[in-house]
Amino acid sequence: MKAEESSPRNLSPHRIGYARVSSAGQNLDSQRDTLTRAGCGKIFADQMTGSRMDRPGWEALLAYARPGDALVVTELSRMTRSLLHLLETVKLLEARKIVLVSLRENIDTGTATGRCFLSVMGAIHQMERELRAERAAAGRASAKARGRSGGRPRTDLMKLEQAKILYENTEKTAAEVCEMVGVGRRTFFAYLAEQRHGKPAS
């Protein structure tokens, strides 16, 4: 899609917005309004799924951005669709000296807090890879031995551990990390209580 610009491009660093919806039938107005209020002088947009790599608006944004500029999104899901894709995108932006700002998650990689948050996300991704490797090595025998014990599924445990890492290593609230990871607050607090009292999470 064609970018919208409220002021001409100059040589000084400035904020560039990116908006995306999954289909042509959805409306971009809300994201555009939010990005404009956030100080974006130019906004690029796409109307297609975030899993596609050939997004013309995104490609045009990358071609337009200059070192020192800030790429602003209303939330991370507008830009990326997975943790791995997020980390790859941040690495690309860092190499080009472009700051990433996500309004909903209150992330700004131009600050120490924002860089710390992304470091934690990188650690979570590494943990996910190691957990998958451990499960593959253990094989089906271990899962069969557990049977229907009533314990939490392993995928839930992974999400709960991710939420715990974010909660303990960033300034995010419990509600924020639960929403980001995709677990319920009551389940998360029960998991924290189990961990503090040394009980197995099963």
Residue 122 CB: number of other CB atoms within 10 A? Answer: 15
22, 30, 82, 142: the active-site residue = 22
Helices (H), ranges, the chain? 29-37, 56-64, 83-95, 112-146, 154-169, 174-181, 185-196
Nearest 5 degrees, angle CA 78-CA 93-CA 24? 25
Distance of CA 13 to the CA centre of its chain: 24
Please provide the DSSP assignment of 47-101 as one string: ES-TT-S--HHHHHHHHH--TT-EEEESSGGGT-SSHHHHHHHHHHHHHTT-EEE
Active site residue 22: yes
**How big is the chain, counted in residues?**
202
Residues whose CB falls within 8 Å of the CB of residue 56, separated by 6 or more in sequence, listed in order: 1, 46
Q: Looking at the annotation, which residues are catalytic?
A: 22
